[in-house]
Amino acid sequence: MSETMLRVEVAYAGRDAQVLLTVQGPPGMTVGEAIDRSGVLARFPEIDLAVNKVGIYGKLTKLAQPLVDADRVEIYRPLIADPNEQRKKRAAAGKVMRKGAGEEAGA
């Protein structure tokens, strides 16, 4: 392995399986190139990079973003439900939304 090669990880958590794949590439390798090199798209055909967002260590980024050594590229699944809509439904149902509230909160 050449000392100038980058070593990064590509992470994806599907519904039934999770992977953390190590990828090596030249300096200037982008997020999209790392994903291609990892083989994750072949393992998880449900990933659509036109739909799924990507990030580096939890921060959203673009496929063209250059990587640095030891970065972790993350591929995110779309949300199943909008969190704001779920909160509205719970509030409409009269459930207590306060932090730390429980049956003892009113006592």
The confidence band for 1, taking pLDDT boundaries of 50, 70 and 90, is very low
Over residues 8-12, the mean pLDDT reads: 98
- The domains found in the chain, sorted by start residue, are 6-75 (3.10.20.30)
Contacts 24+ apart (CB under 8 A), 39-42: 40/10, 40/12, 40/75
Tens of pLDDT, residue by residue over 29-63, are 999 999 999 999 999 999 999 999 999 999 999 99
Whole-angstrom distance, CA of residue 62 vs CA of residue 32: 8
Q: Which helix (H) or strand (E) holds 96?
A: none
Predicted structure pTM score? 0.74
Reported as a single tens digit per residue, the pLDDT across 58-91 is 999 999 999 999 999 999 998 777 778 878 888 8
Query: Is the Cβ–Cβ distance between 12 and 52 less than 8 Å?
Result: no
